[in-house]
Structure 1
């Protein structure tokens, strides 16, 4: 350092030309854009003028994107009916699969109602669950992809009408199991707790109950035989769980992933007539530019004049 714009452009151009043995590009345009941003940030942090300051690097990146001209692959959104379909397929599970069913229902409903990224779900601790007598449950996001300084955000999960789709109910059913596990109740106590929880036919979200240890992870990894591990789920595990549950419900697993819950929230909200400001209150997006992608690609008939042509 400091690197000249020409050096950075040469580096990006060489990386853009690299191909894998199968003939596909070695690096996506988004990867090269991220690398250019990292180079600029490193220069700025060291007190140097960033190579991209004069616009030459940005123009080179635009040229690379034009040359590629490929449509970015996006996972399909999981809409409300899809989430209900998955939850119904999960609800009938028996021991030991019932433990995973309780956890996965909590992940699904928290992720969908809260418009969470999978990394945000994985990072939640029990202390981030804040009960609200009037509103349901608040979940505190301490840090996110667009909040690296850790200013934080609080997301509200309201009481649901149906016990099957009530996000606070799903969270408390899972927390009830964690009380047993963290209290060293052992396998017999966990089996009893699962049986007492039963299928989600009644609301449990307004009951008084004990809380697990606050500093531990909220969503945990599972072992065989229904055992709950002390370590947290990873973002990758959230992604794989969603694919697995989608396949079990008869949905194409290759079409869905960890981002399907967040994309589903935005898409369903647009279809329900919500405006972008109301959606950003929950997603945490700072502008409407990203939301416009969901609006354009997943809800193209919302507010579209073609619906009034009388065809």
Structure 2
């Protein structure tokens, strides 16, 4: 339990999709600190003993649950909700931190190349967050964060939680971690804030569509900025954002061409091939591993007609 928290939003207080007609789970004043108990993105459909057969039968109507919504007193359309990330605590399973990474057919940057389900279960120390073991030779550095975080939209009705939106949502920004501050546009009275989709680690791009999906307790502090009129979310970090990956340098592959999406796909495919050739990995395992720790970056976007996208894989995973 968070001793500094004013409120707790329990795991049962969750919903699927954004809807400004939802009844708030809690009404709080600006300045409040709240502990959110968040499900993993499967809403408990997967667990430490799940197999690849369970991936094939996932109910997508129960994907990405978010805890909330929370009504912030005094929040009005045109304001901004300022959210400070105070901390993340894994919810242990059988005494260990736990998470999963899957290739879900039809989902991910290279969905056309990886059409069969696949699953990796992760185990880690929830207290120290030491790197999580990948097979016998690799360890992925951990950096807990929340993938889905946002306010309700002005438009009525139920809106899918899958795509990111102008008020936040499923943004999957790895750097929304402890110490960061996020500002979200408010479009309805009270903001109706929700959060979920917690991860133990992810690379920038989340290329296979999943990271190390892990249930977490998330502690957030809320403030209100009147009349901010933000067009979209923005955030600040408290310092460097890749220290957990930088120590040993990177292996980097590139994609080059006139289309950024095609170049991103080429860079990732190249890295999958590189890991298979140098590490003897199966292609789908290389794809899933890269999703948890590798970063897509736009290296050049001015030298027309071709742009350069690079994929950075941290050597610290294997060294």
Bucket of the pairwise TM-score, normalised by the shorter protein: under 0.3
Structure with greater proportional helix content: 1
TM-score scaled by length of structure 2: 0.23
Larger Rg: 1
Structure possessing the higher relative contact order (Cα contacts under 8 Å, 6 or more residues apart): 2
Structure with greater proportional strand content: 2
